[in-house]
Amino acid sequence: MLGFLSARQAGLEDPLCLRRAESTRRVLGLELNKDRDVERIHGSGVNTLDIEPVEGRYMLSGGSDGVIVLYDLENSSRKPYYTCKALCSIDRNHPDVHKYSVETVQWYPHDTGMFTSSSFDKTLKVWDTNTLQTADVFNFEETVYSHHMSPVATKHCLVAVGTRGPKVQLCDLKSGSCSHILQGHRQEILAVSWSPRYDYILATASADSRVKLWDVRRASGCLITLDQHNGKKSQAVESANTAHNGKVNGLCFTSDGLHLLTVGTDNRMRLWNSSNGENTLVNYGKVCNNSRKGLKFTVSCGCSSEFVFVPYGSTIAVYTVYSGEQITMLKGHYKSVDCCVFQSNFQELYSGSRDCNILAWVPSLYEPVPDDDETTTKSQLNPAFEDAWSSTDEEG
């Protein structure tokens, strides 16, 4: 570490190298910390979390009872012990609250004045953050499983919505109506995600085991259907291509948009090259997935080797993305974990679970690794616990 700092100072190393090495070191040291927790507001399971991309300061959470809560993550008190306070919430008394469980919430990607939420009550609501009123409501015929708005798009304001029907709907925020429909899947759409690299590329995952990549400007169907066996590409074959051997529950692009991760109920996670749809055959082993609806997992951003954090039962499994090695399992929740998000400025992970808690995983401070050869030195007893007795065997 000191070598890195002096090399950076002398200009021998790129400044980005030090930043990436330090971010990786911090992610490797993630654990529960007694000094940080998140205020508990939800009375039922937390389904979704989202941190705003502008400052990384505010977090939204959506629960199974339709409640949406807004938290401030920044520690402005001077003390190390800090509870992330809930600034405001849309609770059951609010006139516009969702009737059933909120499945996805997302901040407007360009500022924190607006956010969107979709729920099992077949609506997508657009909220004004400052007044906490709905600015617009989109109604659908089927329950909404997931929605996503493109984080990089400047030319369009489309929200992709995945519902229980096989058609992906694109809703335009500017005009307030559903602009078009993407057809191609055969069963419910469990996850949708826009590419963080290109404005118009969308990936959708469905219960019919297929993952499709679309260019929304193109009228004639999807670009690629991902095939786990990497067979030969031909038009007639498209119908038999499956990405997983079960429902595909979750989608996540890596932060540069070049690769796509998918998880399925066949307990596998796969990494795909997003430009040609090829399965990179990185093998993560068994990634237990019992969720009947979407699973929200996340990828780290800004580390030298990127990590993926996947909810695995009541723990969170951490893998390196490109080599498939399992780093650790983060244990702390009492019931199954539904969602997790990564705050890339401070390398912190927040996870929400069915036990109504949101836990904050914080990098632990650097402690020197104990050498096996050294004997343990002085004991560090609090003077209150020391007793005045001395035993004949040991020195007090």
Partner 1 sequence: MSRKRHCLVPETFGLKRRRERGPVEADPLRGESGSARAALAELVQLFPRGLFEDALPPIALRSQVYSLVPDRTVADRQLKELQERGEIRIIQLGFDLDAHGIIFTEDYRTRVLKACDGRPYAGAVQKFLTSVLPACGDLSFQQDQMTQTFGFRDPEITHLVNAGVLTVRDAGSWWLAVPGAGRFIKYFVKGRQVVLGMVRKAKYRELLLSELLGRRAPATVRLGLAYHVHDLIGAQLVDCISTSSGTLLRLPET
The residues binding partner 1 (CB under 8 A) are 1, 3-4, 21, 24-25, 28-29, 31, 229, 231-232, 234, 236-237, 239-240, 245, 266, 268, 281-286, 288, 304, 313, 323-325, 327-329, 364, 367, 369, 372
Query: What does the alpha-carbon distance between residue 350 and residue 340 come to, in Å, rounded to a whole number?
Result: 6
Q: Tell me whether residue 137 or residue 329 sits nearer to partner 1 (CB atom).
A: 329
Query: What does the alpha-carbon distance between residue 362 and residue 348 come to, in Å, rounded to a whole number?
Result: 5
Structure tokens at 100: 């059933």
Query: What does the alpha-carbon distance between residue 341 and residue 58 come to, in Å, rounded to a whole number?
Result: 12
Q: Tell me whether residue 143 or residue 265 sits nearer to partner 1 (CB atom).
A: 265
Nearest to 350 by CA among 20, 32, 10, 24: 32
Query: What does the alpha-carbon distance between residue 58 and residue 52 come to, in Å, rounded to a whole number?
Result: 6
Q: Tell me whether residue 75 or residue 304 sits nearer to partner 1 (CB atom).
A: 304
Nearest to 336 by CA among 300, 298, 289: 289
Minimum Å gap between C-beta 220 and partner 1 is 20
Query: What does the alpha-carbon distance between residue 384 and residue 361 come to, in Å, rounded to a whole number?
Result: 31
Q: Tell me whether residue 49 or residue 349 sits nearer to partner 1 (CB atom).
A: 349
Minimum Å gap between C-beta 232 and partner 1 is 7
Minimum Å gap between C-beta 9 and partner 1 is 16
Q: Tell me whether residue 21 or residue 114 sits nearer to partner 1 (CB atom).
A: 21
Minimum Å gap between C-beta 212 and partner 1 is 18
Q: Tell me whether residue 219 or residue 236 sits nearer to partner 1 (CB atom).
A: 236
Minimum Å gap between C-beta 207 and partner 1 is 16
Minimum Å gap between C-beta 204 and partner 1 is 22
Structure tokens at 65: 């009872």
Handedness of CA 358, 359, 363, 364 (dihedral sign): positive
Task: Please enumerate, as own/partner, the contacts of 175-179 that have beta carbons within 8 Å and a separation of 24 or more.
Answer: 176/136, 176/138, 178/138
